[in-house]
């Protein structure tokens, strides 16, 4: 069993805080294992009795009757005969159907009602997981009326992936960059089986969920949009640019022109389903966000690669995607850093230009800047990659991540240089 220390700590930190713990994340990323195996083991290790942990897996036929919210409530209440502390684990909570309220005309009882009611019992600590088709963060936190505490789970980080692998770090990293960190990948014996699994997961699970939940009228357009985002990983874009690209590229495919609003709506569906995450542009000096142009990163590099049929495995794009995902998984808020710079043009006139720093990383009161630079093997490449650091000029920590395996070091300007493998395995990057 692969340890998930970051997410286990989040559950431990939220233990018995008076809120319903809602474990969300893209399907098949390990939510159930985290709760029913890792966290269960932790509680037992703390002296909690097995009978104090009520485990309900609603996708199991043994618990099919509990998909009725009233029966679910009755079952849980029957399992808490005394004043001991009890921990309630419910997997795939979205399978609970709403039923008519016999006492109120036109009213329905849902699992939200059941859980909010149980929350009034002070000796219960409630944890639920749900698939991305129903348990979207914008929904659950609203329905739980401020009494929900979301714990977002992601696919395996490289640290977690490597802990379950044999062989060298470099070999593990190459595999991770190609097939990603969906936990089930580790049990697939061949390249063909890994690719097949990821393709099926993307097409038969994620896309169908999104189409069905959001009643998507143009699934083909949704697929084209995904392809464009995956292909342009790390590039600034917006709905207008994406619409223009799709309209231009497929004008001879008997497609009606798409508009910006439709693309923007579909982008929201993809982000809400946890398949992609948006990194917004942040004005470092003006300390405000720009409304136009963002970057979108796939939740898993392997999913991104199979969506492109393993044909666009540019390590530069994949590396940037992996660095972003690692930062987010660590719990950081991550933006694209932008600031204006002034200099002289060839004619000696003052010229304004916009500089970009790949990632502005915030965590509490700490902040740092990170550049993802595949190679800096020439003086010119090094100058270009490090120039934004020298211009922005403040005292925040500055890190450049490269693909090579050189030992970490500080240059004369205080910039920290580190190879990708060491960066991903480093316990803390802000120290």
| pLDDT tens for each residue of 82-141 | 989 999 999 988 889 999 999 999 999 988 899 989 988 999 999 999 765 555 555 666
Q: Is there a single domain that holds both residue 145 and residue 53?
A: yes
* C-alpha span between 212 and 228 (Å, rounded): 22
pLDDT at 363: 83
DSSP-assigned letters across all residues of 220-234: HHHHHHHHHHHHTTT
End residue of a domain, out of 152, 171, 190: 152
The count of structural domains within the chain is 2
User: Is the model more confident about 150 or about 216?
Assistant: 216
Among 118, 152, 186, give the residue marking a domain's end: 152
pLDDT band at 348 (very low <50, low <70, confident <90, very high): low
C-alpha span between 429 and 362 (Å, rounded) = 12
Same-domain check for residues 322 and 394? yes
CATH code for the domain of 139: 3.40.50.300
pLDDT of residue 343: 63
- Same-domain check for residues 136 and 166: no
pLDDT at 407 over 60: yes
Q: Which long-range contacts (CB under 8 A, 24 or more apart) does 271-275 make?
A: 271/296, 272/136, 272/137, 272/138, 273/26, 273/132, 273/133, 273/136, 273/206, 273/209, 273/210, 273/213, 274/24, 274/25, 274/26, 274/132, 274/152, 274/299, 275/26, 275/206, 275/210, 275/226, 275/299, 275/303
* Helix (H), strand (E) at residue 248: helix 239-249
Mean of pLDDT values over 197-202? 96
54 with 166, same domain: the answer is: no
CB atoms within 10 A of CB 215: 6
> What are the pLDDT digits (tens) for 271-281?
988 899 999 99
Do 230 and 291 share a domain, yes or no?
yes
Over 80: is that where the pLDDT of 145 sits?
no
Question: What pLDDT is recorded for position 78?
Answer: 96
Domain housing 360: 156-431
pLDDT at position 345: 61
pLDDT, the chain, mean = 90
Q: What is the pTM of this model?
A: 0.91
Distance between CA atoms of residues 180 and 155, nearest Å:
8
Q: Same structural domain for residues 148 and 287? A: no
Do 286 and 422 fall within a single domain?
yes
183 and 313, same domain (yes or no): yes
Least confident among 160-174, 296-310, 342-356: 342-356
Read off the pLDDT of each residue in 18-38 and give the average, rounded to a whole number.
Answer: 93
User: Distance between CA 21 and CA 37 in Å, rounded?
Assistant: 16
203 with 262, same domain: the answer is yes
Q: Are 96 and 69 in contact (CB under 8 A)?
A: yes
Whole-number percent of the chain with pLDDT over 70: 93
Q: Is 89 helix (H, G, I), strand (E, B) or coil?
A: strand
Task: Assess whether 119 and 178 both reside in one domain.
Answer: no
196 and 124, same structural domain? no
**What is the largest distance, in Å, between two alpha-carbon atoms of the chain?**
84
pLDDT tops 80 at residue 270: yes
Q: Are residues 168 and 145 in the same domain?
A: no
Strand partners, 402: 419
């Amino acid at each position: 069993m692969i340890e998930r220390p970051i997410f286990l700590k989040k559950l431990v930190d939220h233990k018995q805080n008076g809120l319903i713990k809602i474990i969300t994340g893209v399907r098949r990323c390990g939510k159930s294992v985290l709760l029913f195996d890792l966290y269960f083991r932790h509680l037992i290790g703390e002296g909690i009795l097995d009978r104090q942990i009520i485990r309900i897996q609603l996708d199991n036929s043994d618990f099919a009757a509990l998909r009725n919210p009233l029966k679910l409530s009755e079952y849980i209440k029957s399992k808490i005969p005394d004043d001991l502390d009890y921990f309630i684990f419910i997997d795939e909570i979205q399978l609970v159907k709403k039923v008519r309220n016999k006492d109120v005309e036109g009213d329905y009882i849902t699992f939200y009602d059941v859980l909010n009611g149980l929350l009034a019992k002070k000796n219960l600590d409630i944890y639920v997981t749900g698939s991305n088709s129903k348990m979207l963060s914008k929904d659950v936190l609203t329905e739980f009326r401020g009494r929900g505490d979301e714990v977002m789970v992601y696919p395996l980080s490289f640290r977690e992936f490597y802990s379950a692998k044999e062989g060298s770090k470099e070999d593990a990293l190459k595999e991770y960059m190609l097939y990603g960190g969906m936990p089930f990948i580790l049990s697939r014996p061949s390249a063909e089986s890994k690719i097949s699994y990821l393709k099926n997961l993307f097409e038969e699970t994620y896309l169908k969920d999104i189409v069905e939940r959001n009643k998507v009228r143009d699934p083909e357009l949704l697929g084209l949009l995904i392809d464009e985002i995956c292909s342009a990983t790390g590039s600034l874009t917006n709905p207008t640019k994406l619409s223009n690209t799709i309209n231009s590229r497929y004008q001879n495919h008997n497609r009606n022109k798409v508009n910006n609003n439709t693309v923007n709506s579909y982008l929201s569906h993809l982000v809400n389903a946890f398949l992609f995450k948006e990194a917004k542009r942040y004005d470092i000096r003006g300390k405000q966000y720009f409304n136009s142009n963002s970057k979108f990163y796939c939740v898993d590099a392997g999913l991104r690669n199979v969506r492109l049929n393993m044909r666009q495995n540019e390590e530069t794009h994949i590396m940037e995607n992996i660095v972003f995902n690692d930062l987010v998984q660590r719990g950081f808020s991550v933006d694209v850093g932008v600031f204006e710079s002034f200099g002289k043009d060839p004619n000696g006139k003052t010229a304004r230009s916009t500089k970009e720093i790949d990632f502005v990383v915030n965590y509490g009161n700490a902040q740092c800047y990170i550049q993802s630079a595949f190679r800096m093997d020439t003086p010119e490449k090094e100058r270009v990659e490090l120039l934004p650091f020298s211009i922005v000029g403040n005292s925040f920590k500055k890190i450049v991540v490269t693909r090579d395996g050189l030992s970490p070091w500080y240059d004369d300007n205080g910039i920290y240089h580190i190879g990708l493998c060491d960066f991903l395995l480093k316990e803390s990057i802000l120290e």
